[in-house]
Amino acid sequence: MCKKGGELNESANTKTLKPTMMDVAARADVSQATVSLILNGSPGAKFSQATRKKVFDAAQELGYRLVQRGPWQGTPSTNLVAFVVDEVVSDPWMALAFEGARQRALERGVSLMLSVCGSGFLEDDDLRQKYEQMQVIGYICGTILTREITPSPFLMKSPTVLVNCYDRKRRLPSVLPGDLEGGRTATQCLINSGRTRIGFINGQDGIDATSDRLRGYRQALASNDLTFDPDLVYGGNWEPQSGYDGTMKLLGLRTPPDAIFCANDMMAIGCYEALKSSGLRIPEDIAVVGFDNREIAQYMRPPLTTLVLPHYEIGATAVDQLLDIAAGLTPRHSQLKVECELIERDSV
């Protein structure tokens, strides 16, 4: 039987196994992607000092030594990766993913070319032929909303990694945010502060982030013997107005909440306005947690406790995945989840 850390029980017929990155991740209670990004010193990767210390301490305790990924060893004509997204304007997520991928690609001696293709990936014959003529290493395909896609036959024949989207049959590897665990972390943060009646303002139906964050919320309640009350859940649309409306509805309950988890920071802005207009103090009367760690969160009054949506890290991880595949290596996991780290500020 294996022990944590990759060591076998000592006997005459067993040997000590070298610790792996997965062992470090298990010891530090983080994802493999987080371990890789921290130990590789990726510029721009946003992790707290506490998380970095956990990873370095776990690696040292296990005696793990990082095997550095070297520069891409392809031919001079194959040092380009196509980064294809559906859109980059409405939210910053794909721009962040591209920046994370670009930085990691530079470290590996590879260039990235960004293309915005709307809802269909490489359905434009001219664009596809252009990439084929360039002899690209492969494709990273990303969506602004976390969702399922149906890969085209062209992508199925090419080295491809999906970012913020996935193929339900898992024929292509994907890298996604850990929304379920993020929802659980946000709710647990409020429970740890002594709150027992926690409202949840969620995003619109039909989106993976909406269902996953709700599942995480419910799991945290169940783990702490708190009863799920559907009256405490309000379906918003990610916009500040729905945060305001949802908060006013929650405050109108016979027993209003003592904490509110907003499924994104934009709805948390509306939540703040509703609480302040009702004469309630944050966090003395009601604690609030958001999600996404948008730039504005640190400037809210009080500064908002929230979770990072780790698209920079997701982009960097996707580059390593793609280059491994192009080198003939089989991904250890068909779907990687990058955890959404809690950023503790003054709203709890």
Asked whether 319 and 138 are in contact (CB, 8 A), the reply is no
What's residue 66's pLDDT?
Answer: 59
- Whether residue 225 is found in the same domain as residue 339: no
Do both 173 and 193 map to the same domain? no
pLDDT in tens, 123-176: 667 777 888 888 899 999 999 999 999 888 888 888 999 999 999 889 999 999
Q: For residue 248, count CB atoms less than 10 angstroms from its CB and return exposed for 0-12, middle for 13-18, buried for 19 or more.
A: middle
Residue 6's region, left for phi above 0, alpha for psi from -120 to 50, else beta, is left
Instruction: Tell which of 68, 92, 113 closes a domain.
Output: 68
> So what's the pLDDT on residue 19?
74
My answer on whether 196 and 292 are in the same domain is yes
What is the phi/psi pair of residue 202, to 5°? -100, 170
Residue 171 lies in a domain: yes
Cα four-point dihedral sign 292, 297, 303, 304: negative
CATH of the domain at 54: 1.10.260.40
Whether residue 209 sits in one domain with residue 287: yes
Whether residue 348 lies inside any domain: the answer is: no
pTM recorded for the entire structure: 0.80
Residue 321 in domain = yes
32 — pLDDT class (breaks 50, 70, 90): low
CB under 8 A, 24+ apart: contacts of 211-214: 212/146, 212/179, 212/180, 212/182, 212/183, 213/179, 213/180, 213/182, 213/183, 213/186, 213/263, 213/291, 214/183
Q: What is the CATH number of the domain that holds 116?
A: 3.40.50.2300
Answer yes or no: do 173 and 264 share one domain: no
The residue among 344 and 79 whose pLDDT is bigger is 344
The boundaries of the domain holding residue 169 are 80-178+310-343
In-domain check, residue 74 = no
Q: Does residue 141 sit within a domain?
A: yes
Same domain for 255 and 199? yes
C-alpha radius of gyration, the chain, whole number: 22
53 and 84 share one domain: no
Between 220 and 168, name the one with better pLDDT.
220
Residue 73 covered by a domain: no
75 within domain boundaries: no
Cis peptide before 283 (omega within 30 of 0): yes
Q: Which of 75, 87, 206 is nearest to 144 (CA)?
A: 87
Confidence of residue 238 (pLDDT cuts 50, 70, 90): very high
Are the beta carbons of 309 and 94 closer than 8 angstroms? no
Q: Are 201 and 243 in contact (CB under 8 A)?
A: yes
Q: Are residues 64 and 104 in the same domain?
A: no
Q: How far, in Å, CA of 312 to CA of 343, rounded?
A: 16
What is the domain count for the chain?
A: 3
| Arithmetic mean of pLDDT, 217-230 | 98
